[in-house]
């Protein structure tokens, strides 16, 4: 009897930068190891997420959760992500696996306005940058 396993990744900030690179590496390793992987890509920009999804390797299934702003309340962020995760877990390749691994890669974040010095930031800007980078 052959045991099957599925690996599901959730990658935040997947539409660019570090997150985009993480998605590419996950896909490349899936192909190199002859494994099937499922990647839920979370980010702000749907078009950019779709471009990342098109570049995937043959052994990788991608799912997009666009329009996620990490400065929003937690329930507005987690709701769509958990809904997509539930959809993926119930899909036939994952649901039929004997074991499922779930990996969360938090790579979303932002850098502040680099044209300003620290004393030039408003209280609102400091709160926003802190919320995005530490709470996400």
Residue 134 has pLDDT above 70, yes or no: no
Structure confidence at residue 48 (pLDDT): 93
Domain range annotation of the chain = 5-135
Pick the residue with more confidence: 36 or 55?
36
CB 10 within 8 A of CB 104: yes
The answer to whether 131 and 71 have CB atoms below 8 angstroms apart is yes
Residue 39 to residue 8: CA distance in whole angstroms: 6
pLDDT at 22 > cutoff 90: yes
DSSP string, 43-103: -S-HHHHHHHHHT--TTEEEEEE----TTS-HHHHHHHHHHHHHHHHTSHHHHT-SEEEEE
What are the CA-CA distances from residue 4 to residues 9, 54, 84, 89, 91 (Å)? Answer: 17, 26, 22, 14, 14
Inter-axis angle of helices 46-54 and 17-32, nearest 10 = 20
- What is the DSSP secondary structure assignment for residue 111, as one 8-state letter? -
Encode pLDDT of 48-89 as tens digits.
999 998 876 677 889 999 988 767 787 888 899 999 999 999
Nearest to 133 by CA among 12, 22, 8: 12
The structure's pTM equals 0.78
- The CATH classification number of 5-135 equals 3.40.50.720
Q: How far apart are CA 24 and CA 56, in angstroms?
A: 7
pLDDT over 90, % of the chain: 35
């Amino acid at each position: 009897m052959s045991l099957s396993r599925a690996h599901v990744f959730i990658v935040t900030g997947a539409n660019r930068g570090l997150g985009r690179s993480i998605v590419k590496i996950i896909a490349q390793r899936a192909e190199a190891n002859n494994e099937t992987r499922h990647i839920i890509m979370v980010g702000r920009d749907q078009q950019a997420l779709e471009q990342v999804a098109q570049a995937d390797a043959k052994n990788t299934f991608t799912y997009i959760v666009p329009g996620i702003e990490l400065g929003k309340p937690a329930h507005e962020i987690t709701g769509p992500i958990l809904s997509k995760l539930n959809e993926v877990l119930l899909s036939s390749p994952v649901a039929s696996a004997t074991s499922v691994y779930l990996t969360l890669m938090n790579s979303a974040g932002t850098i502040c306005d680099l044209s300003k010095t620290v004393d030039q930031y408003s209280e609102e800007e400091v709160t926003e940058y802190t919320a995005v980078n530490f709470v996400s």
